[in-house]
């Protein structure tokens, strides 16, 4: 298997913008740590580890976007939000990114804030908001769950890819002139395809897990007990 | 399964770098990277200095240049992006070998290649000299929240479980007459991905319960036993690398 995963590496975005996003990511992760502690019980701890390992493995599948020389890959934010909830989910993706940056040199250490903002915060937050919405609207059937998983994964991947475009617009080290719209288009187009793949993987995984061990799916657990209970905390960092 | 305590990038050795406590190495690596990123991109000599520093540490760690460079290929997609920049960039242009290139794009491409490569090399050196377990212990000693180290511990532990389960399922498919080749392998994989996840979870859950029943409470024993934490002397030795890098960066900022 190709092991060419790649996040934003050092030097792509300038220092001040990276620092701002690092502070933002740190603040959101602190919130996630505080809220996530309540969620992490004996059942969720191994699940969180497995979700992180799964995302780690899945992010190794990499698709080069030839026209811009940028590459894209599966993210796993929606899967994490579905299985372990938004708080622990964001932490899982963040842990994956930190380990990749520290050990595998995948994504610059100085750019961790940017990568965490895009993939852990934006990806999981958008994914979870859609999940919370769709699970209420759609029928409580395996098909409804599959559609929820597919749509939320697809949208979260595209939104996360646009996070990079925003950051490059704010602090790209090279002025692309009018090509920024081109970059946005390339990223969105490629990640739409990736999102379809991610949506399929997320949907099959979650539906299988929900069939055999519904108690393991956080999103379903949160919905079950009482309808009026406030089950939709606005995921950290949603803007 | 028993060999799951190191990862693919770890190089077994007893060099001085290997023996440094992990928290020192992590801190040094992060600070070094920050110094590199803070360097103005036109200070070409500074990047030579950083490369020399990386080479010295690699020498001390007995990690060969061939090993380092072949593993640094992970950076390739962004190198391609860097090569595209001179053509895409705006502003002033120069003619090189008959091609009209953007000056800003050339510098930007160089910036990405230089800083990206140095960052990748630094983390590869950390990976080559630190086992997975030490990495977690190091993060914990650096006051990383326990929930994060816990997720990281299980992630690294379950990677092997996932790979093992995937292999077992593949063997089971093949022995029942499936003939996975190239792309068709994907179909079998996609159909089995949910089952893979469940099997890996149930195996992982057993591992977790076994750990809990043996007294695991969220932290690795090596951490709360407190043995092997970095001494002041080791911190000083480890600080040498970021200090040299910071000096280079400060000089480069002052000169430009």
The rounded distance, in Å, linking the Cα atoms of B37 and B50 is 11
Cβ-based contacts of A3 with chain B (< 8 Å) = 74
Cβ-based contacts of B212 with chain A (< 8 Å) = 42
Residue in the structure block whose two tokens are 């990640």: A191
Per-residue pLDDT tens digits for B205-219: 888 888 888 888 777
In a domain, A4, yes or no: no
**Predicted local distance difference test score (pLDDT) of residue A227:** 42
Which pLDDT tens digits describe chain B residue by residue (256 residues)?
334 445 667 777 777 788 888 888 888 888 888 888 888 877 888 888 888 888 888 888 888 788 777 777 766 666 666 666 666 665 555 666 556 667 777 777 787 788 878 888 888 888 888 888 788 888 888 888 888 888 888 888 888 888 888 888 878 888 887 766 655 566 666 667 788 888 888 888 888 888 888 888 777 776 666 666 777 888 888 788 888 888 888 888 887 7
In a domain, A65, yes or no: yes
**Predicted local distance difference test score (pLDDT) of residue B75:** 63
Task: Please answer whether residues B146 and A93 qualify as being in contact, where contact means their C-beta atoms are separated by less than 8 angstroms.
Answer: no
Whole-prediction pTM = 0.80
**Contact criterion met (CB < 8 Å) for A69 and B81:** yes
Burial class (CB in 10 A: 0-12, 13-18, 19+), A181: exposed
In a domain, A208, yes or no: yes
Residue in the structure block whose two tokens are 């080559």: B128
In a domain, A229, yes or no: no
**Contact criterion met (CB < 8 Å) for B123 and A105:** yes
**Predicted local distance difference test score (pLDDT) of residue B184:** 59
A81: CATH? 1.10.1760.20
Size of interface A-B (CB pairs under 8 A): 238
Across the interface, of A91, A178, A205, the residue whose CB is closest to B194 is A205
Backbone angles phi, psi at A70, to 5 degrees: -100, 155
Please give the structure tokens belonging to residue A8. 């934003």
**Contact criterion met (CB < 8 Å) for A208 and B194:** yes
Give the domain range for residue A168. 15-222
**Predicted local distance difference test score (pLDDT) of residue A200:** 84
Q: What total of structural domains would you count in chain A?
A: 1
CA dihedral (A88, A94, A98, A99) in degrees, to 10, reads: 60
Q: What ipTM goes with this model?
A: 0.77
**Contact criterion met (CB < 8 Å) for A50 and B207:** no
**Contact criterion met (CB < 8 Å) for B74 and A10:** no
**Predicted local distance difference test score (pLDDT) of residue B181:** 64
Task: Please answer whether residues A100 and B24 qualify as being in contact, where contact means their C-beta atoms are separated by less than 8 angstroms.
Answer: no
Q: What percent of chain B has pLDDT over 90?
A: 0
B52-83 in b/e form (b: 16+ CB < 10 A) is ebbeebbeebebeeeebeebbebbebbbbbbe
The pLDDT averaged over each successive group of 10 residues in chain A (239 residues) is 49 77 87 83 81 82 51 76 88 87 73 83 88 84 86 87 80 65 76 82 85 81 51 47
In a domain, A171, yes or no: yes
Please give the structure tokens belonging to residue A74. 């599966």
Per-residue pLDDT tens digits for B135-183: 888 888 888 888 888 888 888 888 888 888 888 887 888 888 776 665 5
In a domain, A238, yes or no: no
Task: Please answer whether residues B39 and B152 qualify as being in contact, where contact means their C-beta atoms are separated by less than 8 angstroms.
Answer: no
Helix (H) or strand (E) holding B99: strand B99-102
Preferred mutation among B78, B186, B188 to probe A, highest tally of A CBs within 10 A: B78
Across the interface, of B80, B201, B212, the residue whose CB is closest to A47 is B201
């Amino acid at each position: 298997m190709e092991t060419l995963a790649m996040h934003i590496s050092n030097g792509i975005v300038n220092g001040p913008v990276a620092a701002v996003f690092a502070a933002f990511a740190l603040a959101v992760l602190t919130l996630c740590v505080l809220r996530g502690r309540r969620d992490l019980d004996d059942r969720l701890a191994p699940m969180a580890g497995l979700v992180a390992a799964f995302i780690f493995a899945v992010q190794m599948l990499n698709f080069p976007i030839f026209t811009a020389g940028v590459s894209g890959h599966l993210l796993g934010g929606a899967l994490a939000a579905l299985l372990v909830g938004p708080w622990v989910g964001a932490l899982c993706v963040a842990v994956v990114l930190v380990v990749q940056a520290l050990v595998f040199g995948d994504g610059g250490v100085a750019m961790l804030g940017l990568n965490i903002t895009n993939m852990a915060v934006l990806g999981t937050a958008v994914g979870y908001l859609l999940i919370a919405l769709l699970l209420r609207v759609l029928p409580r059937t395996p098909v409804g769950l599959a559609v929820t998983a597919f749509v939320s994964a697809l949208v979260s991947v595209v939104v996360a890819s646009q996070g990079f475009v925003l950051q490059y617009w704010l602090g790209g080290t090279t002025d692309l002139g009018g090509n920024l719209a081109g970059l946005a288009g390339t990223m969105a187009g490629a990640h739409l395809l990736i999102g379809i793949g991610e949506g399929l993987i997320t949907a099959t995984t979650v539906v299988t897990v929900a069939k055999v061990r519904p108690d393991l799916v956080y999103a379903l657990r949160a919905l079950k007990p009482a309808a009026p209970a406030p089950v939709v905390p606005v995921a950290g960092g949603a803007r | 399964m028993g060999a799951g305590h190191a990862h693919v990038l770890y190089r077994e050795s007893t060099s001085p770098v290997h023996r440094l406590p992990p928290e020192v190495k992590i801190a040094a690596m992060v600070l070094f990277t920050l110094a590199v990123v803070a360097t103005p991109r036109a200070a070409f000599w500074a990047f030579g200095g950083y490369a020399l520093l990386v080479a010295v540490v690699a020498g001390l760690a007995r990690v060969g240049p061939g090993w380092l460079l072949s593993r640094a290929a992970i950076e390739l997609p962004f190198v391609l992006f860097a090569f595209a920049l001179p053509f895409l960039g705006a502003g002033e242009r120069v003619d090189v070998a008959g091609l009209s290139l953007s000056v800003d794009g050339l510098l930007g491409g160089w910036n990405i290649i230089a800083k990206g490569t140095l960052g990748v090399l630094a983390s590869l050196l950390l990976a080559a000299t630190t086992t997975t377990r030490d990495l977690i212990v190091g993060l914990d000693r650096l006051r990383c929240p326990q929930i994060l180290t816990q997720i990281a511990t299980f992630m690294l532990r379950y990677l092997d479980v996932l790979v093992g389960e995937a292999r077992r399922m593949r063997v089971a498919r093949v022995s029942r007459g499936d003939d996975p080749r190239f792309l068709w392998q994907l179909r079998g994989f996609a159909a089995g991905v949910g089952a893979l996840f469940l099997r890996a979870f149930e195996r992982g859950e057993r591992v977790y319960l076994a750990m809990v029943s043996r007294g695991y409470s969220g932290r690795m024993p090596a951490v709360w036993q407190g043995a092997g934490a970095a001494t002041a002397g080791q911190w000083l030795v480890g600080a040498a690398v970021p200090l040299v890098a910071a000096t280079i960066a400060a000089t480069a900022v002052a000169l430009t």
